[in-house]
Every structure is written in C-alpha cells, then in structure tokens.
Structure 1
Amino acid sequence: MSRRGADHSQSRVYVVSGVLPDDLYDYVPQDEIETPAPRTGRPPKHDVETWTVTDDWPDRVPVTEAEIDLFEAWFGDIFDELFGPSR
C-alpha cells in the first residue's frame, strides 16, 4: 500500500454538486447514537452565589467600520430610542 493510502485508510464519501440527501438530520444511524440515561428526581439547584464570572476580554475590543455599519443597519432604531437620534 502506498504511503498516501496508509494515511487515508477510511473510505471517502463523494458529494455530487446540487444533490442533497433525503434527510439532512439523519447522518448517524440511530443504533450508533449513545444517549445518556435520564436522571431521576429533581434537577440540582444552582446557587448563583457560588458562580464565578471571569472577564477575560481586553480593555479595548477592536471593531471594524463594517461591523459598525451592520449594527447601525439592523439596530439603528433601537439605538435611537436608547441614546437619542444621531446628529
């Protein structure tokens, strides 16, 4: 076997352009899916007092002009209500 064949021992799936499978959600056979056993009893209570919030964002986050234009196009009316109309 050639070196290329040894590295790619799995069979390849070829896709025909423009042809979609009948069921887009049925890629894995059901017998191969491992589902966890359902939990019994009440779900555990989450004590928000014990949560830890970590802010690892930089002080300044770079934003491009294209991103600003996008937000203004989609949320401009909301921004105007919150901050007043632009001058």
Structure 2
Amino acid sequence: MAGAENNTITNVTVQLGATAYLHCHVRSTGDRALAGAEQVSWVRRRDWHILSSGLFTYTNDERFQILHAEGSDDWTLQIKFVQKRDNGTYEC
C-alpha cells in the first residue's frame, strides 16, 4: 500500500510572485506489478479543493502544475506566481 513517507509537516515560505515547490515522497509497495502505479492527490485544506490526482489537475488556475518523473516516488506541486491567497496548508 502506498502512503506518505511520514506525516511530516513542512513549512514552505515563498516571496509573492515567485514559484513554490511543495514536495511529497510516496513509499513504493515493492510489488513490481504495481511499480509506478502509485499516485498522489493534492488537496488545499482551506477549502478542501482537490487540486490534482496523479498528473491531472482539477483547477482552472494554470499556475498549478504537477511535476513527476515516471517511475519516481517523488511528486511536486508547483505553484507559479504565488499570491497571498495561496497561503495555507496543502496535503498530498
């Protein structure tokens, strides 16, 4: 079963207008049949908005993008041109 490596909370501080990178590392199941099948979803806690699932984004805001290399356990939520309204907690 895939899951977050731990329940660590990381504070990311970014200047307004810069790009934020929120990282998530997912443990692999070790099952070769499922290798690369693990995916993450990103949720913005302020409004419980599901921002993404796998590489697909569920927001019309083009500043949000998912970065993930095939076969990697690392997933990154990229937020370009950060604004004050982006402040808050994000979960993967």
TM over 0.5, yes or no? Answer: no
Q: Which has the larger radius of gyration?
A: 1
Determine which structure has greater relative contact order: mean sequence separation of CA pairs < 8 Å that are 6+ residues apart, divided by chain length: 2
The structure where helix makes up a greater share of residues is: 1
The structure where strand makes up a greater share of residues is: 2
